[in-house]
Amino acid sequence: MRLLRWAAELALERDQRRAGVGIAAMDALQESELLQDEDLDLVETIAQSLVEETEAQYDHDTAIREDDEVAYGGGAESTGDDD
**DSSP code at position 2:** H
Q: How confident is the model at residue 63, as a pLDDT?
A: 76
Please say if the pLDDT value at position 21 is more than 80. Answer: yes
Overall average pLDDT of the 65-80 stretch: 62
What is the rounded CA–CA span in Å between residue 31 and residue 40?
A: 10
pTM value > 0.85: no
Residues of 27-47 as b/e, b for ≥16 C-beta within 10 angstroms? eebbeeeebeeeeeebbeebb
